[in-house]
Structure 1
Amino acid sequence: MAAKTDQLLIVVSVLEGRHFPKSPRLSLVVQASFNGEQLATDPVEHREQPQFSTELAWELDRRTLHQHRLQRTPIKLQCFAVDSVSKKRESVGYIVLDLRSAQEVKQDPRWYPLLSSKYTKQRPALLLSVVLESDSRPSEPSPDRFKAKKAPPRQGSPSVTDLLPDKLEAVLLADQGHHQVGPADLCTDMFVLSVTVAFATKLEQLIPSTMKLSAEGSEFFFYYSLLGNDITSEPFHSLLSPDFEPERASVRIRSSKPVLQAFLSQQPSLQIHLCCGNRSLGSTDVSLSALSVMDLENKAATVEGAFVLQPPKRTKQTLLAPPTDLQPTLGVAITLRREDAAPQQSVGSKDGGGPPPQPVTAPAEQRPVSSSPVRNPPAGSPPGPPGLRGPPLPPPSSHTESDVESLLDELHRSGAQRAGLAAADSEAPSAPHTPAEAAAEGGASSVSVSAPKVSIPASAHHYCFSLDLRSLANLSSPHPIAATLRYSYPFFGSVAPIMTSPPVELHRNMEASLPQSYCAFDFAALPQQLQDTFLRVPLVVEVWHRDSTSRDQLIGRASIQLSRLLSSERKQFLSPSGEQGWRQTHQDRIPVVQTHRPSEKVVELSYVSTLEDLGLVKATEVIVSDSSQDELPAQAQGSSHPAAPRPAAPVAPRDTLEYRTALELELWKEEQEDLFDHQLKKKELSHMQALAEEWRKRDREREALVRKKEVEYNLLEEQLQKTLSDLERREKQLAAAELETERLQRDLRAEHALTQRELQESSRRLQQECDHRVELEREKVRLVEQERARLLQQISDGEGRYKQLEKEFQLYREQQSVRPEVRLQSEVNLLSLEKVELERKLESTTKSKLHYKQQWGRALKELARFKQREQENAMTRLKKQQAELEAMRLRYLATEEKEAVRQDRQELDSIRNELNRLKQQEDRLGSAPSRPDPAPAPSLNESADEHLSRLLEERDTLLRTGVYTHEDRIIAELNRQIQDAMRDRGTL
């Protein structure tokens, strides 16, 4: 017998349905979910018996299956009705399958009715079967199957691609500043892979009419993942005229040409997202496989062009299809070259779609000089826009990307050749031109991103701020939430929001840890600027509830006061460069409050913040502003006018040096006034032109929006007309359905009234029958009480007669002591007669008692039959009554038997004693025995036999009733009396 395979398939076969109403506009889809994975059937017609004929399978091993069976993990099937026009899905019902019922043997399909069905008139059902199948992919080849032999290897050395593994991965070597692709012995060359986002057009087409940008934020940026590194562009504010600097991201790769080509052929397309806040508005895919077929020996391989941005799947239905000339496009260039080859021209200047890069200077009073949040995820993390997943937690030994260090290197180089570097930056931003520069840039990180350069004052400090959001606890809501945290702090230089991922499920009265919630920022700023900003601006953390079936909900906000971090204890440490730095750490737990109810706490957030001061930034950059350039010619011109006068004897007043100096001063004043007026007019003209250009641009934007709204309104009007016609048809259907519903309600009310009357009548009859039976029982109990009272009276009479006889016998004994023998003999005879009379009375009493016992036995049999007949209707009452009757009967029988036995035994003992006494007297007197002497012995034997027979008959009578057994106490007592009577008989 073959061994069972470890891999199994859970196969759910959805065959067909029944009792579904017919609807031509709708289609049916069955969606099955198990272990967090969802599978769905193809849409079928919405008719009475839809035919699905689909198998849904999940793969798992036997151990996992055992765990799911222990946890009773269900398989839930949901049936949806999909509208063919609006694509709206509505739940029809659901079915829950028990995983424990799935076996590895073939089972016949069963009909499962839909629970919580939408169609209440009929009861729809699905024909399903659940079976476990062995995985058909064996780990070892089967010996009984034919398999061709592999071709023998050719003579010679094997090719490089034959030595490569099936799946190539890029491994980050942080200490060397590059990625490695392939085995180390094959990695002989260094390559540079660059991605440039140059321009974008028609981005307003990606905004759905239902989206409110004010709720999402007004800043847009591009996002993509390059070899596991998240790259975000500088934000821009307008989608109609996107104004952003072309940015290039480069990554250094150590590999060889065939290995790198094989790696690129395996890579998926590069996906670039347009994001607004935490939302992806659209994306485009740029294939990397085209780089693998190009020659890298003499020139760089480039893939460039304008790519169409596609909206996400969830918003495709809300967006109207734009014409071909209005499709949103994105200019992207991807370049792969050897590190020693010269880089090509920037895409921004080549395509002409984007503005040329210009150096930007920003004063230190507005924002920090440069910053770089830690956004490099660990190797193997799935790509995704920052709005869709938060920044993952970097390992402690990984090197973060630092724009400050790269900026310092460029500023050191700019001290020698400032003008040439400025020109080079304007043509091709941030691309290293020599291998030494590339190595310097790669030392800090494997990715370099070009960005507008800013000035660093000499007194600026290099800071590193890190925030670790630890956990959430004390949820006030009774319902669990899937919590995701989001925050942004523009002072650190990153306007893109930072989010935690994945969502954490938080229940009430529990604490949940937040994975991948650590983020660090490197920036340069003035100490006073840092202190003022931390005191004035708190860091706001938003807590969102992420639901797969609805939109994200804002739970609340928490304000982290960064000023507490400045007041914490400062500790010294040595930076990696050997310089002394300061570190301040603050840990706290703060409440998260609702936006509209600041006094109501939703949850508590625990965090740890750290600020590291790495010392002064030892770099400066000279910036010449427009005003200083305007003043330089004027000052030079003013300084060239005065000249040294020659000494002369008499000079005219107008020829004196003072006069000329005053004249030159006046001329210089007039010239400065004219220059100032000229500059003022020039500035006024430039401002007016800027205002006019801005006014025209806004007019064009409004016209474009109006045209777009007109197209949308026309399409919406058509949809409204269709909806109105559908509503009219639905109203007619609803009217017919209401009439049918009213008829069904009338029928149901009449049926309910008839059923209610029948129930009342049966209840009345049952009540009367029960009352009659109770009366019968009460009458029987009353008769038994009367019989008991009569028997008690008889017992009391017998006791009185017994006392009377005892007195007479005592008198007789006294008389016998004084009378002579003849008189004694006559009295003996008289006593014998009286004894016979008493025995006769005793016999009659015994017969009457036996008759009563027979009657009592018949009553007990009748009571047993009545008990069996009435057991189902009045079990509790009959048990109680039977217990009372049993106790009463036991007391009566015990009393009767005790009295009868005691009376008989006393009579027999008294007679025996008297006879023995008389016999002794006769022996003592020495007279001959008289004739009546032998009479007592036979009478005693006869009375003993009669008593024994009576006891036997009474025991047999009680046993024949069926109520008593040999183990009962009264039967045991009778057996003991029978044994005593037989022993007494033997002694006589």
Structure 2
Amino acid sequence: MSKTDQLLIVVSILEGRQFPKSPRLSLVVQASFDGEQLATDPAEHSEQPHFSTELAWELDRRTLHQHRLQRTPIKLQCFAIDSVSKKKESVGYIVLDLRSVQEVKQDPRWYPLLSSKYTKQRPALFLSMALESDTKPSDPSPDRFKAKKAPPRQGSPAVTADQLEATLIQDQGYHQVGPADHCGDMFVLSVTVAFATKLEQLIPSTLKLSAEGSGFFFYYSLLGNDITSEPFHNLLSPDFEPERASVRIRSSKQILQTFLSQQPSLQVYLCCGTHSLGSTDVSLSALAAVSVDLQNKAATVEGAFILQPPKRTKQALPALPPDLQPTVGVAVTLRREDVTPQSLGNKEGSGPPTHSVPPPSLPPAAPRRPRSSSPVHNPPPPPPPRPPSLPPPSSHTESEAESLLEELQRGEEQAGQLEAADLEVQAGASSVSVSAPKVSIPPSAHHYCFSLDLRSLGHLSLTHPIAVTLRYSYQFFGSAAPIMTNPPVELQRNMEASLPQSYCAFDFAALPQQLQDTFLRVPLVVEVWHRDSTSRDQLIGRASIQLSHLLSSERSRLRASSGEQSWRQTHQDRIPVVAAPAKVAELSYVATLEDLGPVKAREVIVSDSSQDQPAVPKQPPSHPAAPNHTVPPLGPLAPRDTLEYRTALELELWKEEQEDLFDDQLRKKELSHMQALAEEWRRRDREREALVKKKEVEYNVLEEQLQKTLSDLEKREKQLAEAELETQRLQRELRAEHDLTQRELQESSRRLQQDCDHRATLERDKVRLMEEDRARLLQQIADGESRYKQLEREFQVCREQQNIRPEFRLQSEINLLTLEKVELERKLETTTKSKLHYKQQWGRALKELARFKQREQENAMTRLKKQQAELEAMRLRYLATEQKEAVSQDRQELDDIKNQLNRLKQQEDRLGPASSQCGPAPAQSVNESADEHLSRLLEERDTLLRTGVYTHQDRIIAELNRQIQDAMTDREEL
């Protein structure tokens, strides 16, 4: 992943407004996104609190796209924290939409708090959101941690960052890093471009390469020196010898490591003429590690790095699967000059950490035809310009296949010249040396065999039995296909089951440090699935196998079949199967790792002799010379026997022979040309097939994307249709529910009106009956008064006759009067009890009226009901007034009776000793009558107060209190 793919979501919380002022409290804004929570520093709880805090989350573009599709929110929650009790209380929250975040900086704006605690005010926060590129490296390592500069030691000056520059010493042919008095060691920094694969994936369909003048080559810059590899002309199977470029550096270990930690990554470009087809970054952080021992070992960064197309053509290329990614094999080595590469081979197993890359092994470089080691006097061609400043490719109408074939044809024409050109650098001009005799770089990859045996599964915490199937995959072993156990095993609670067919072994090649880094960083996750024939498969939980335990286990030595020595490490453990947030089961496993030794490297033979000289073409023989002696004519010779004839015959025979030779050469040339044409035709046919396959892959990827988009659109349309139907159904249900509620309210109102009318009728009937009882009681009181008056008259007559009658007669009359008095008291008691019963009934009626009034006030819905309640209250006051008047009349009558009884008592006192025997009885009855009257008044007052209609300030209650005081006073006098 490139650095530009790393992004930061930055939320700036500046200030707030309309918050109430509270000195004891402080405000904290807590933001949560994707399960990660960040919080601001506490701010003063004032009207305008100032936060001035930026909260950021790191993610890549693919994850951002997924969050936008899932509409993942950013929730900001504001808390008020008490400084004394440390109690945290929520004030409100804000939900931010992730889809509105743009890479363009936006102005902040006010966001009001939702569900705010402060209802009288509307507090708000001043926020802004932005999407920024993450400029720090995508793979941070502890080596990039920069501590504070230590103070300089005594006797040695401190080395500043400005002094850490590579200065070329031309006369001695090396670069110097740091002060001269601190540079006592000589180091060699080497960069090797070993191989390349899948380079045709970097060629977009719109790019034409026929206009360029050379083949394909790799370019990089090493300490300011431009390095280019030898050109090659076949992208399908790049055939070039590994080339090593080395520079000599004079420095010390600490200064050189500090210098390398400040250097950017080494960028390697794939170029064609002036066009940059792709590039990759090789991090040099491992070379600057403090733990590297450069005295006896070499620091190495090697691997197959993925070539990324430039930004202008990246949009034209589809996304490729991992097995079709274009890669280039690069090895960067830093060693002391006196440490030879041969001595480093024995210590490879304990070397420095290497850079981890996706492909697990380094394929060896393909051998090439040896070059001539004789010096060439032709000047070397100038290096091409730097790829970052290359002009953009011009648009052409020819297809990609035609441009490639034209480029390859032009490369074949110039192959002779490129074979003759040798890159030699003068020793005094630069310290960069490109090794002319090509040597193969022995790969440091080892052959490993990893096996995993899932033994058993037990301690199930689920209550129901499950059919268990285990599944896992680990792409580092070279296969992305999942490994599954089959058939499913039934597992019940508190039992342990063995897993069938759970052993699997992987053979792969990898770098030792790469294997160690991957095992330490990436665990092997085993998924436990419940497979049911009646429903879909259900994920029960996951178990993480930490492969780092395998690296720390004891190593045992083995002897391989080939006679080489190998190592084996075995680890056995039981790990929990976790389903958030609890443990589900336990898995028992045995893991084994076998190191079968380094991978065999393919050697490239380098010839020290010069190239075969071109054969000198056959020259036709010269004409046969004339003989030195002449044959004298012996006589007339035949025309065929003459010397001229023989010479002409030999000439003709020579001509025929030369013609046959020429025809033979023509046939051989024709055959060779036909073979070359056939080979070229087959090569171009293979290229066409490769291009067609590439196009098919691109079209298949685009078709899959289109099908996925169409399926997403169909799903979204279905979801929208279902949502619309659901909305219509909910509207109908809500409308029906509203109508039903309306009808129920109307029916309830009607029933309540009828109930109120019925209750009012009942109360009227009760009032009428009470009035009748009151009239009857008044009549009884009147009769009692008349009888009392008659008795009084009779008493007067008796008192008048007492003066003339004897005492016996007077005693009898007194007895008669006593009996009448008892009868009157009995009637009075009956009347009092009737009156008390009436008062109780009256109190209940008042309570019912009070409850009715309260219910009417609570459920009053119209003004008419209120008026009725007021009329009813006025009617009750009227009744109370009448009752008060009746009570006052009763009191007056009782006062009269009391006066009469007092007079009777005085008369009895004057009668003398003769009448003393019958005197105490009337006095005792009077006292009892006074106590009964007092208790009746107290009961009346308490009854009226319990109804809730009257209070102590009402007139009737005040009158009853006064009568109670008078009765108590009279009782004390008696």
Q: Give TM class, smaller chain.
A: 0.3 to 0.5
When Rg is computed on C-alpha atoms for both structures, the one with the higher figure is 2
- TM-score when scaled to structure 2? 0.32
